Amino acid sequence: MGKTYKIAVLGGDGTGPEVTREAVKVLEVAARKFGFTLQLNAYDWGGDRYLKTGEVLPANAAEEMLRHDAILLGAIGHPEVKPGILEKGILLALRFALDQYINLRPVRLYPGVECPLKGKGPKDIDYVVVRENSGDVYTGAGGIMMKGSPHEVAMQNMVYTRAQVDRCLRWAFNYTRKYGKKARGVGAHNTLALVGKTNVLTFVFDLWERAFHEMGAREFPDIKRDYYHVDATCMWMVKSPEWFDVLVTANLFGDIITDLAAITQGGLGIAAGGNINPEGVSMFEPMGGSAPKYTGKNVINPLAAICAGMMMLEHLGEQQAAQAINAAVSDVCATKVKSLAAGKMGYGTQEVGDLVAERV
Ligand code: IPM
Ligand code: MN
């Protein structure tokens, strides 16, 4: 008998529920084929519920999530709710409450997907960003003083503890050992590169850099270490993405560079990520937003949500099922969808879900 997994499904706002439905469709086909069971519990957390009840998240939300093996999230963001309320109150609140301290963002260009970088193909765009997900300016440390006066002061502090940095780096080194380019048979080394700003942020990235080299030399001598400034990283992501293997970086830089990375892999229609607590409950999501203007039109691309589902299965240990979804997505990109953009796929949202499900 295969295992049973309890999955919390948070469709969220806008097109979130419709892309999540397609991801669930594909996951259920994979479960039948590979002999495991998904027990799905849906939650209506999002903008509509907030507008109706005035509550962003119920008080027992984290407890509720802790009764699951993983979380599948659609998208958060509602046009009638002031920006920040739902993002902070739902997405960031869950990341923090569940201590999902790793944000894993694979950057892979599938065959057949149009890449905005001239002369680059799937062989060139094949790396991973490990974004620290619990510290940095996201902690909310800081404040506004003398608000409204000419002397108003605003501060938002970049905060890291050694323990936070160490746990992220250790996870990134282990990930590199297991999934780096050498481990996957596509390169001579497994390389972990720290992305920072040691030339200006001489406190926070001094800590990161020392921790990185100390840990690497002591515990991971088999892994090649590199360091890049974040601004230069942006340039190379466009010019020479084939240089990269695994990148590790702080929360804000990771947020920014993974949007740039996403566009090089075909955009937010395909990019997915995992908010991981290696010892707890992790949450998988498409990187794109709720795209409210496309809600209910059956035009939004569900592939990113399907890829989030695939990452979830990988995380749960269902490697074969994850590989089958990966192969199916790859084939649908190569032979079916004309473009990854909403309304330009040549198929509707549900049809793209069907195409992937048939291939699994
Ligand atoms: C992301 C998003 C979030 C972030 C926002 C919506 C809070 O941009 O997941 O990358 O900044 O982490
Ligand atoms: Mn982002």
Contact 70, 47 (CB under 8 A): no
The best mutation among 82, 86, 88, 92 to test binding of ligand 1, ranked by most ligand atoms within 8 Å of the C-beta, falls on: 92
Of the residues 193, 220, 250, the one at which a domain ends? 250
Considering the domain architecture, whether residues 238 and 218 belong to the same structural domain is answered as: yes
Considering the domain architecture, whether residues 119 and 235 belong to the same structural domain is answered as: yes
Considering the domain architecture, whether residues 100 and 17 belong to the same structural domain is answered as: yes
d(CA 170, ligand 2 centre) in Å: 23
Considering the domain architecture, whether residues 17 and 92 belong to the same structural domain is answered as: yes
Ligand 1 pocket residue status of 255, Cβ below 6 Å: yes
Using alpha carbons only, what angle is made at residue 308 by residues 306 and 314, rounded to the nearest 5 degrees?
Answer: 105
| CA atoms of 229 and 208, how far apart (whole Å) | 12
Task: Indicate the number of domains in the chain.
Answer: 2
Q: Is residue 257 part of a domain?
A: no
Q: Is residue 343 part of a domain?
A: yes
Considering the domain architecture, whether residues 88 and 137 belong to the same structural domain is answered as: no
Of the residues 250, 281, 307, the one at which a domain ends? 250
Output the tens digit of pLDDT for each of the chain's 360 residues: 689 999 999 999 999 999 999 999 999 999 999 999 999 999 999 999 999 999 999 999 999 999 999 999 999 999 999 999 999 999 999 999 999 999 999 999 999 999 999 999 999 999 999 999 999 999 999 999 999 999 999 999 999 999 999 999 999 999 999 999 999 999 999 999 999 999 999 999 999 999 999 999 999 999 999 999 999 999 999 999 999 999 999 999 999 999 999 999 999 999 999 999 999 999 999 999 999 999 999 999 999 999 999 999 999 999 999 999 999 999 999 999 999 999 999 999 999 999 999 999
CA 198 vs. chain centroid, Å, equals 25
Q: Is residue 36 part of a domain?
A: yes
User: Is the sign of the CA dihedral 106, 353, 57, 78 positive or negative?
Assistant: positive
Contact 223, 173 (CB under 8 A): yes
d(CA 336, ligand 2 centre) in Å: 28
100 to each of 31, 182, 284, 305, how far by Cα in Å?
A: 25, 27, 11, 19
Q: Is residue 274 part of a domain?
A: yes
Considering the domain architecture, whether residues 127 and 104 belong to the same structural domain is answered as: no
| CA atoms of 197 and 253, how far apart (whole Å) | 9
Burial of residue 63 (number of CB atoms within 10 Å: 0-12, 13-18, 19+)? exposed
CA 82 vs. chain centroid, Å, equals 23
d(CA 183, ligand 1 centre) in Å: 30
Whose alpha carbon is nearest atom 9 of ligand 1?
287
Whose alpha carbon is nearest atom 11 of ligand 1?
255
DSSP states of 130-154: EEE-S-GGGG--EEEESTTSTT-EE
Ligand 1 pocket residue status of 48, Cβ below 6 Å: no
3-state secondary structure of 111: coil
pTM above 0.95, yes or no: yes
Residues spanned by the domain of 23 = 1-112+266-360
d(CA 255, ligand 1 centre) in Å: 6
Considering the domain architecture, whether residues 70 and 181 belong to the same structural domain is answered as: no
Q: What is the CATH number of the domain that holds 244?
A: 3.40.718.10
Of the residues 191, 218, 250, the one at which a domain ends? 250
